[in-house]
Amino acid sequence: MCGIVGVVGKLNTKEILINGLQKLEYRGYDSAGIYVNDGQNGSLVKETGKIKDLEKIITDNISGEIGIGHTRWATHGKPTVENAHPQFSEDERFYLVHNGVITNYDELKSTYLSDVKFVSQTDTEVAVQLVSYFSKQGMNTTDAFKKMVSLVEGSFAFGLIDSQDADRIFVAKNKSPLLVGIGDGFNVICSDAMAMIDQTNQFLELMDGEIVVLEKNVYHIFDKDNKEISRNSYTVDLDPNDISKGTYPHYMLKEVDEQPAVMRKISEHYLSDGINVDADLVKTVSESDRIYIVAAGTSYHAGLVGKEILENLTDIPVDVEVASEFGYHIPKLSKKPFFIFLTQSGETADSRQVLVQVNELELPSLTITNVKDSTLWRESTYQMELLAGPEIAVASTKAYTAQIAIQAVLAKVVGTLLNNEQALNLDLKEELSLAANGMQTIIDEKDMLKSLTHDFFENQDHAFYIGRGVDYAVSIESALKLKEISYIHTEGFAAGELKHGTISLIEEQTPVVAFINDPNTAEHTRGNIKEVQARGANVLVIANEKFAYSDDQIILSSINELLEPLISVVPAQLLAYYASLERGNDVDQPRNLAKSVTVE
Ligand code: M6R
């Protein structure tokens, strides 16, 4: 979702902004823009579409040592040039980029800005017009910016430049992510350290409600009470090579291929030389009477697998909750609840609003995330890192399997403390190693999967994934993967549930992918396959070697049945990849989607 970059104190501002925006493309956007000022004149360039479209209209004469840039994912107003950021004040003095949603913009407009002519439909324009309004009332820019920030409600990350005093960037955040990067003779801002890691690896964490005034050699941080405070920077350990595609045509394919290595890394980090998990975390979970897993999208699907693993290995009941629902309909909680937030990005607004409430209730929580120092990481009681390396493709792959593996690590240590027999008997290190090998076997069969995809999904507008138990959890994840990047309408279903209604949609050649990995229900799912075949469905079976028939198309190696999703999801990820490719879609940045969903 929207991305912000900014720099003060560098001669090649324009290049730094464009390069930074390219690194933020993965977040999802539909227009982009930059504003650069050379101390005398400012240049504003905005375009709909991709960064490469913006680059085409940026002329050589644009230069300056200060600038801000933005990728916009439309919320208020269509993706047009007028609605793209930076937004500017009526007198064209102030330029502002914004990530988030200002909820009281209508009210602010009628209270303060009834005489102002607006040129966009955005909530953002209200913020920049307000700065101008307060400046015209006699406030200096710092005070006008602070006043605006004190009035706006909702979520925001702001970067503002005053063209009449163009050596400072005014920065503020609330709920939306924003970092300040510290350089030698320059400073930067960005929504994600990835965007500026080639400039600096020193970053400042900003808290909600804080304001920063950033110059090239100095920065001033003001807390919520307007008191100037100091804060040390921290080092971001990110290898710029991790965020390159290398020789891969798409990030998604690279990330699918990285999964065996991620399994080995998790095993090495958490399970070598004993067990490397915070003892206090393990004790707190073991003393809880119910675990609530809160997540969205693919992370929610990983939570469904985690529930099976945690309940079996710890005997503690687990509820898995869709974050956007749970936050507004909190059920009666158990007496000693423990919350797990699963989030690749660590920034998902739906999940964060639940964490805020959990913190207000002073309940313990764990964030399992791929992004250390992200908002949910910082605000939860305990943290575990996914160690998957940056995931850039919008379609989540390696983060999903890493989330399952980390939940298994947690279940194993908590269950061991609780003397659970399954936990005591589970050799998780060995299982993760088998999972890595099983994944690799599938990854090595790409050509076969590519041709299966062609035969199976060509000219199809609808598809189904079915399974039972953990296979059902993998079915809904596989369906999400296929629909989000191929745009084929796909549903994941509990195999036994089809006959209660949905089977009416099965027609001649309707593609149905069936997972058969659950020992208790393998034969029942075979029965459901017969039912859809009898109605004309074209069935593709992904089965564990233990239950496979000789004519099943994809046969998986066998590991502990609770962990089988680590392997069984991989062919589904590749089917989705090739279906998207075959349809000529943008695999890594599918339409309408954002990687980091920072608005509710
Ligand atoms: O960063 P998060 O894991 O919290 O993101 C949650 C969802 O937006 C995300 O998993 C989404 O469903 C995936 N991009 C789908 O592949």
Other C-beta atoms within 10 Å of 189: how many? 29
Q: Which of 412, 441, 470 is the last residue of a domain?
A: 441
The percentage of residues in the chain with a pLDDT greater than 90, rounded to a whole number, is 84
589 pocket-lining for ligand 1 (C-beta < 6 Å):
no
343 pocket-lining for ligand 1 (C-beta < 6 Å):
yes
- pLDDT interval class at 504 (50, 70, 90): confident
- Answer whether residue 486 shows pLDDT above 90: yes
Q: Decide: 123 and 75 in contact? Cβ < 8 Å.
A: yes
The CA radius of gyration of the chain, in Å to the nearest whole number, is 25
- Answer whether residue 135 shows pLDDT above 90: yes
Q: Which of 241, 259, 283 is the last residue of a domain?
A: 241
Per-residue model confidence as pLDDT tens digits over 286-304: 999 999 999 999 999 999 9
Known catalytic residue at 190: no
180 pocket-lining for ligand 1 (C-beta < 6 Å):
no
Known catalytic residue at 595: yes
374 pocket-lining for ligand 1 (C-beta < 6 Å):
no
Q: Which of 73, 250, 299 to mutate to test the pocket of ligand 1 (most atoms within 8 A of CB)?
A: 299
- pLDDT interval class at 134 (50, 70, 90): very high
Q: Are residues 174 and 230 in the same domain?
A: yes
The catalytic position among 46, 173, 398, 595 is 595
Stretch 227-234: mean pLDDT: 92
* Closest by CA position to 205, among listed 193, 216, 218: 193
Residue 321 Cα to ligand 1 middle (Å)? 14
Q: Are residues 589 and 552 in the same domain?
A: yes
597 pocket-lining for ligand 1 (C-beta < 6 Å):
yes
For 348-395, the DSSP string reads: -HHHHHHHHHHHHTT--EEEEESSTTSHHHHHSSEEEE-------SSS
> Of residues 32 and 596, which shows the higher confidence score?
32
Q: Which of 185, 208, 241 is the last residue of a domain?
A: 241
- Answer whether residue 599 shows pLDDT above 90: no
Q: Are residues 296 and 412 in the same domain?
A: yes
Residue 177 Cα to ligand 1 middle (Å)? 16
> Of residues 246 and 321, which shows the higher confidence score?
321
Q: What value does the mean pLDDT of the chain take?
A: 94
Q: What is the CATH number of the domain that holds 555?
A: 3.40.50.10490
pLDDT of residue 591: 85
Is residue 332 packed enough to be buried (19+ CB in 10 Å), middle (13-18) or exposed (0-12)?
exposed
Q: Are residues 543 and 473 in the same domain?
A: yes
Q: Which of 26, 250, 344 to mutate to test the pocket of ligand 1 (most atoms within 8 A of CB)?
A: 344
Q: Are residues 307 and 193 in the same domain?
A: no
For residue 350, the ligand 1 atom closest to its alpha carbon is: 4
The total of structural domains in the chain comes to: 3
pLDDT of residue 483: 96
The residue nearest atom 12 of ligand 1, judged by CA position, is 297
What is the 3 state secondary structure string of 470-509? HHHHHHHHHHHHHHHHHCCEEEEEEHHHHHHCHHHHCCCC
pLDDT of residue 11: 86
Q: Decide: 309 and 420 in contact? Cβ < 8 Å.
A: no
For residue 396, the ligand 1 atom closest to its alpha carbon is: 16
Per-residue model confidence as pLDDT tens digits over 74-100: 888 899 999 999 999 999 999 999 999
pLDDT of residue 367: 98
Q: Are residues 180 and 295 in the same domain?
A: no
Residue 393 Cα to ligand 1 middle (Å)? 11
Per-residue model confidence as pLDDT tens digits over 173-224: 998 889 999 999 999 999 989 899 999 999 998 888 999 999 999 999 999 8
Q: Are residues 233 and 285 in the same domain?
A: no
Per-residue model confidence as pLDDT tens digits over 326-382: 988 888 899 999 999 999 999 999 999 999 999 999 999 999 999 998 899 999 999
* Closest by CA position to 100, among listed 122, 130, 82: 122
Q: Are residues 266 and 408 in the same domain?
A: yes
Range of the domain at 379: 245-441
Per-residue model confidence as pLDDT tens digits over 42-78: 999 999 999 999 999 999 899 999 999 999 988 888 9
The catalytic position among 2, 10, 23, 216 is 2
